[in-house]
Each structure stands twice: as C-alpha cells, then as structure tokens.
Structure 1
Amino acid sequence: MSAATLLSFWAFALLFVITPGADWAYAIGAGIRGKGIFSAVLGLVTGYVLLTVIVAAGIGTLLAASPVLMVTLSIAGAGYLGWLGIAMLRNPPVPQAAASQGPGSSQVRSFINGTLVSGLNPKAFMFYLAFLPPWTSTAASWSIGLQILALGVVYTASCAVVYLMVGFGANATLRARPGAARAIGRISGAIMLVLATLLLYRAIGAL
C-alpha cells in the first residue's frame, strides 16, 4: 500500500472525523469535567480499533449480511446513546473542581463508556464496511486484511488527534464558566438523544 493511497484516504476520512456526532458530544462532556479526557478518547479509539480488527478479519461482512444482527447492533447502540444522553441532560458535566466523584473510578468509567460509544455505533461500523475496502487493492503486496488494518490505523489516529483537541478545547473554553459548561453539556446530551432516536427509527424501519 503506497503512501499516496494512505494520504488520500486520510484526507477523505478526516471529513468524517471532523463532523460533529456522538463522539464529539462525548469528548466535549469529558472536556467539561476536566479530568478523564485522555481516558475518554482512549476509550473511543479502542472502540474503533476493535471495529478495525472485526472488519479486517472478515467478520464484519458476515455481520452485515445478517439483518437480525445489524438491527440488534443498532438497537443496542441507540439504547446506550440514549442512556448517556439522558444522564447528561439530568446531570450535565461540570468542571472537575465542582464534581464529587473520585478520579480513579471516573477515568475507568470514561474509558468504558467511550469504548461502548464508538464500538456500538452502527454508523461507524457501516463506515468501516463501506469505505475501507474500496481503498484496498488485490494487486498490492499487502493482503487485504493488512491493508484494512493500515487504513483503520490512519482513521483511528485521526480520531485520537481530533477528539483530544475537542476535549481540551472544551476544557479550556468552559472550565471557568460552570453555567455555560452545564448548557453545553445538556446540548451534548440532547445531540446523543437525537442520534439515538434516529438509530432506533432506522432499526425499526429495517424490521
């Protein structure tokens, strides 16, 4: 796989990474709290690493071929996003100085939630299935699986950089403004609820 191919894919994938969605909302929430930004983004990245391995191993194609499994994944993802959205609406994130939860448990929770947010996202799963294989070539010296892994690494690295910027940007902007932090936190929660509703609607429509 040539460097030109990887660079072209990176430019293409970056358009998706910089588009606000559930990942952005989650990173903003972590940024508002001020602690757990790295663990939250690491969780998001871990979810994408798992998706990369699944698609590279060929398991993704088998899953996509099963309507029941795809609907189940969509419902699970919608349910989890909805749960997080409701939690952020009821208890919007605040700067860590005003929070009462312990740092250790908070960071572990941030990591687990981040992994589930990205790992259970059917839109991310379909992105991997739809857009990674077309950038591979049977004429390349690498196997298709290795090429997909390389593309997944490029996408995941882009996610890590952008989401860290989003998280720390939210922290720098809102840490001294608790009122604004709560408002943005609730907006992020509302975004998650909207996305969860759309996912659930599409899942029901596929039945």
Structure 2
Amino acid sequence: MTLTSALALAGAVFVLAVTPGPAVASITARTLGSGLGAALWHVAGIALGDIVLIALACLGMTTLAQNYGEVFLAVKWLGAAYLIWLGIGALRGDDTPPAELPPGPSAGYFKDALTGLLTTLGNPKAILFYAAFFPTFIDLASITFVDFLLVCAIACSMVFVVLAGYALLAARARRLLRDRRAVRAMNRVSGGVLVGTGVVIAARS
C-alpha cells in the first residue's frame, strides 16, 4: 500500500465518518442520554464494525452477501431493533439532571459497544463504501496481512477521532442541562433520534 493510497483512504473514511448518518445520530443520542463514557464505548463498537466490513471486503463481500444474505439481513434488523429499544428507554427515562445522577454502571459498556458494532454492520452507507469504493484504494487481490492491518488502523483511527469529536460536543451540551424540563426535552430528542435511526436502518435496503 503506497503513501498516496493510504492518504486517499484516510480522506475517504474521514468524509464517510463526518457525514451525518446513523452512526453520528446514535452517538449523539447516546451521549445525551447516558454520558460520554457510554458514547465512547459506542464509538469503539462502530470502529470494530469497520474492521469487520474491511475483513469482509477482503474476503469478497459481494460473494458473501449473495451466499449469506440472510445473515446480513438479520444483523441489520437486530441492530435496528436494539436502537429502537434504546430510544424507547430514553423516551421513558428519568428527568433528573445529569449532575444529580450517580455514575452509570460499567456493565453497560459492553452493550454500548455491541450497539455500535450492530449500527455499523446494519448501516448501508458503510457497507456500500467498503463493498464498492474501498477496492479503489487498494488491490484486494494482492493485499498482504500488513496492508490489512494498516488499512484497519487508518479506518479505525479516522472513525474514532471523528465520532469521538461528535460525542465530546454532545457531552458539552449535556453538562449545560440543569433543570428537569431541559432533561425531559433532551430525553425526548435523544429517544426520538435513536428510534428514528433504527427505523431508517430497518427501512433501507
């Protein structure tokens, strides 16, 4: 993999990550609803999903999709259902201001990472990028293991930096919430975004 192709790939992944979509929406809603820690684990899961899609692209995503299309469809529906479930939970959430809430349990971070993973695997934009555009940056027929690791490092670092930036901005907004009416409105917004993101993922082909 040449330096030029590496830089081109980094730029393309940056554009993919920074463009608003299911990942950005779910991270923003997760930050507003559960705080920065939960959101960063969610981001880690999204980055892990990119590694899975890169591996599938190297193995021949088109062939896999044709032979195991039901698996891809099941993952998409599972991710959509979980996002909707989280959104309903946010809509019914407590309206106590974040400053008065105790720290969230660390046991939930695995679920946040899993949600991020499912969000990526069910995101048509990410699947299209790695299936159609990714091969233009690297010759998949002659890719080496070192190239694979480099590609994963580039993609994950860009995705994590960009999406963590969104999470930090949302966390800053969350800290400004001081009264129950504002928190109630935040819960409605974040819950609606999560539910809407799940519906969009389920509806897209």
TM over 0.5: yes
TM class by shorter-chain length? 0.7 to 0.9
Tell me the CA shift for residue 132 of structure 1. Answer: 0.9
Query: In structure 2, how many angstroms separate the alpha carbons of the residues matched to 1:95 and 1:40?
Result: 22
Contact 2:38/2:109 (8 A) holds in 1: yes
Q: Report what 1:79 is aligned to.
A: 81
Q: 1:95 to 1:46 in 2, by over 3 A?
A: farther
| Equivalent residues, number | 200
What is the aligned counterpart of 1:89 among 88, 91, 94? 91
Secondary structure in structure 2 of the residue aligned to 1:35: helix
1:18-33 to structure 2, matched below 5 A, reads 18-32=18-32, 33=35
Q: Report what 2:166 is aligned to.
A: 166
Query: In structure 2, how many angstroms separate the alpha carbons of the residues matched to 1:95 and 1:149?
Result: 43
Q: Report what 1:65 is aligned to.
A: 66
Q: 1:55 to 1:168 in 2, by over 3 A?
A: same
Query: In structure 1, how many angstroms separate the alpha carbons of the residues matched to 2:48 and 2:30?
Result: 16
Tell me the CA shift for residue 197 of structure 1. Answer: 2.4
Query: In structure 2, how many angstroms separate the alpha carbons of the residues matched to 1:95 and 1:187?
Result: 15
Structure 1: gaps (5+ residues): none
What is the aligned counterpart of 1:51 among 47, 50, 53? 53
Tell me the CA shift for residue 11 of structure 1. Answer: 1.8
Query: In structure 2, how many angstroms separate the alpha carbons of the residues matched to 1:90 and 1:121?
Result: 26
Between stretches 163-172 and 180-189, larger displacement belongs to 180-189
Q: For each residue in 1:4-51, what CA deviation from the matched residue of structure 2 results, as whole angstroms up to 9, or x when unmatched?
A: 111122222222211122222232234332433432322222222222
TM-score w.r.t. length of structure 2: 0.77
Between stretches 84-93 and 46-55, larger displacement belongs to 84-93
Query: In structure 2, how many angstroms separate the alpha carbons of the residues matched to 1:138 and 1:49?
Result: 15
Q: For each residue in 1:130-162, what CA deviation from the matched residue of structure 2 results, as whole angstroms up to 9, or x when unmatched?
A: 1211222379xx527764553343222111001
Contact 1:56/1:149 (8 A) holds in 2: no
Tell me the CA shift for residue 3 of structure 1. Answer: 1.0
Query: In structure 2, how many angstroms separate the alpha carbons of the residues matched to 1:119 and 1:125?
Result: 7
Query: In structure 1, how many angstroms separate the alpha carbons of the residues matched to 2:49 and 2:183?
Result: 26
Structure 2: gaps (5+ residues): none
1:91-130 to structure 2, matched below 5 A, reads 91=93, 96-100=98-102, 102-130=104-132
Between stretches 99-108 and 79-88, larger displacement belongs to 99-108
Query: In structure 1, how many angstroms separate the alpha carbons of the residues matched to 2:55 and 2:3?
Result: 21
Contact 1:47/1:119 (8 A) holds in 2: yes
Query: In structure 1, how many angstroms separate the alpha carbons of the residues matched to 2:70 and 2:135?
Result: 23
**CA RMSD across the alignment:** 3.1
Q: For each residue in 1:151-201, what CA deviation from the matched residue of structure 2 results, as whole angstroms up to 9, or x when unmatched?
A: 343222111001111111111222131554553453343233333323333
Secondary structure in structure 1 of the residue aligned to 2:6: helix
What is the aligned counterpart of 1:134 among 126, 133, 136? 136
Q: Report what 1:14 is aligned to.
A: 14
Between stretches 193-202 and 4-13, larger displacement belongs to 193-202
Secondary structure in structure 2 of the residue aligned to 1:36: helix
Q: Report what 1:198 is aligned to.
A: 200
Q: 1:121 to 1:98 in 2, by over 3 A?
A: farther
TM-score w.r.t. length of structure 1: 0.76
